[in-house]
Structure 1
Amino acid sequence: MSPAPKNSSAFGVCGGDLRHHLGGGIRQLHGYIHPEPLPDPYVRDLHKLGFNHVCFAVDNIEAEVAKLTERGFKTRSEIMDFHSRSLVFIEGPEGVTIELAQWV
């Protein structure tokens, strides 16, 4: 099965090949394998304009953090209480910040 170049123009990259990283329901993350990605020197800066991280709701934040750290992921913060949820920031692929949130 080849990547989906015919669909890539819909994502603003003409002639690009993309790879689906996560799918199911309404969640999809795409990562282009062609053309070469443009590095973002501010990818870790949560104060930058535009999209700066992705958040996933979880049922048990402590268990999810334990699973991820066992697999080599590093946290960017401690688990903290923020408004009506507990949250933590994780160092994700290519420097993209992942937030896990457990609503209480």
Structure 2
Amino acid sequence: MREAGVPSPVVPYGADQTLFVVIDRLDEATEIRIERNDLEATIGELVAGCFYDPIKVISFNTLEHWMKDISTIVAGEIRARCDIDGMTMPDYLSDFVESHS
């Protein structure tokens, strides 16, 4: 039985949402998954340094029942934004971008 006030960890069947999960490594033994429903916000948070050591970004759709690794797309977008803004690739993103480019 679920406790009152605790949200369900599962999106209800039929809810048409595309979600983005960032897999972040905290240390050698610990990985966490952080879910977002907005790709633009997810990329912005990556560039802003809101993640310790991002490993992968996965998207999935709850209605169409698909998922895909979009790490290469996100890495390309991060590289493009750094180039456009004339900024050096942040250290915390260099491994992620290099491994997915």
Would you tell me which structure has more helix in proportion to its own residues? 2
TM-score normalised to structure 1 length: 0.23
TM-score normalised to structure 2 length: 0.24
Larger RCO, structures 1/2 (Cα 8 Å, 6+ apart): 2
